[in-house]
Amino acid sequence: MQSIQTIRALGLAVVSSLMLAACGGGEAQEKEGPAPSSQTVTVATAARTDLPRVISASGSVSAWEEVPVGAETGGLVATSVLVDEGSYVRQGQPLVQLNTALLSAQVRQQQAALQTAQANAARDDAALARSQELKERGFLSQASLDTAMANQRSSQAGVAQARATLSSSQTQLSQATIRAPVSGLIISRSVTRGQIVAAGTELFRMVRDGRLELDAQVPETDLPLLRSGMTADITSDQAGGTTGTVRIVTPEVNPETRLGVARISLSSGNGLRPGMFARATIDAGTQPGVTVPTASVLYRENRAGVFVVGPQSTVTFVPVEVVGRDDQRTSIGNVQPGARVVVEGAGFLNEGDRVTVQAAAAAPARPAAAPTTAPARK
């Protein structure tokens, strides 16, 4: 009986030992935790290279130089309007004809006044010559000679005054025909036939030489890259596409929008009109910068960034600024040259994930060329 109890006690001790061992192993396993997962990816090294830089901008089409055309002589009736909006005119071409009846009469009156003044001057010239001759012979006093000289100078002044008055009337008569001050395109007209035109009234507005330009709104960060003479491609939903050249970059930046203006001269025959909206892509040449493969750039929460492989093969999402790009490479900021960025597999990663870098595939060996056998001599 005692031996049976002893056997039972030994069995209970063995079972207890096994249970304690099992419990201890579970706790150790819980302390160690599950092994972290690792995803296989490919990486590339950020390098400093040159990429073509294209700056995108948009704005409104405006006249290169708007020229208002007004009347210099006022109070006359417009008897005829010779051009309309949309007409291209040459410098000096008549635009409006005003009533010249009154001015023509004034010119004829001043011409007659000039002839009278010239006749009086001729008379006084002859009188002065006789007085000088009589004075030399001693038949005329000095006072009489002085009077003759004063009359002659007065008549000469009368001639000059009559000529100036005639010239003024002739100028007003010529101003009654309103001419184009420059060559260009008429974009607005505010005069009609029969209208009494006041001096200084704007009658037309012209685009000088018909030249248009695009007032492109450019972010302040891109303004230092622009220079006069850079080429641009212009597109518009209404008029199609054309080309242009940067004429000037304004030195002022809007403090609210942080945008500057690049004035782009447009090629002729583009179909654009003042006030239209258009977009421009400006070729800013090649710019140095840190580049990575385009496939490595991701967008998380509307922010561009790349996964950078750090110590212990963990990845960190680094927000970047996209400066320029093409199909193969993208120029970015906020990443130093030499950083390793994830390319393939980046879209499946999260912050702090551990990765396994896949080795680059070795280039296949070229097959050995078959040895050439010299032909046997006969």
Maximum distance among all Cα pairs of the chain, rounded to whole angstroms: 193
Per-domain residue ranges of the chain: 40-50+289-357, 55-64+211-287, 75-99+176-210, 100-174
**Residue 135, pLDDT score:** 83
Pick the CATH number of 100-174 from 2.60.40, 1.10.287, 3.90.550, 1.10.3300: 1.10.287
How many angstroms separate the CA atoms of 211 and 247, rounded?
Answer: 12
Strand 354-357 relative to strand 38-41, pairing: parallel
Which of 29-38, 241-250, 273-282 has the lowest average pLDDT? 29-38
- At 112-122, the pLDDT tens digits run 999 999 999 99
Give the CA angle between residues 178, 180, 89 to the nearest 5°. Answer: 125
The pLDDT tens digits of the residues spanning 177-224 come to: 999 999 999 999 999 999 999 999 999 999 999 899 999 999 998 888
Tokens 């110590």 locate to: 311
- Tell me: pLDDT of 228 over 80: yes
Indicate the pTM of the whole model.
0.59
CATH top-level class of 40-50+289-357: mainly beta
Residue 94: which H helix or E strand, with range?
strand 94-98
Class at the top of the CATH hierarchy for domain 75-99+176-210: mainly beta
pLDDT of residue 21: 45
Domains 55-64+211-287 and 100-174 share a fold: no
Confidence of residue 30 (pLDDT cuts 50, 70, 90): very low
pLDDT digits over 256-288, tens only?
Answer: 999 999 999 998 877 888 899 999 999 888 778
What type of residue is 180? A
**How high is the pLDDT of residue 31?**
43
Closest listed residue to residue 246, CA positions, set 210, 282, 220: 282
Say if residues 299 and 72 touch (Cβ distance below 8 Å). no
CATH class for domain 55-64+211-287? mainly beta
**328 in Cβ contact with 293 (< 8 Å):** yes
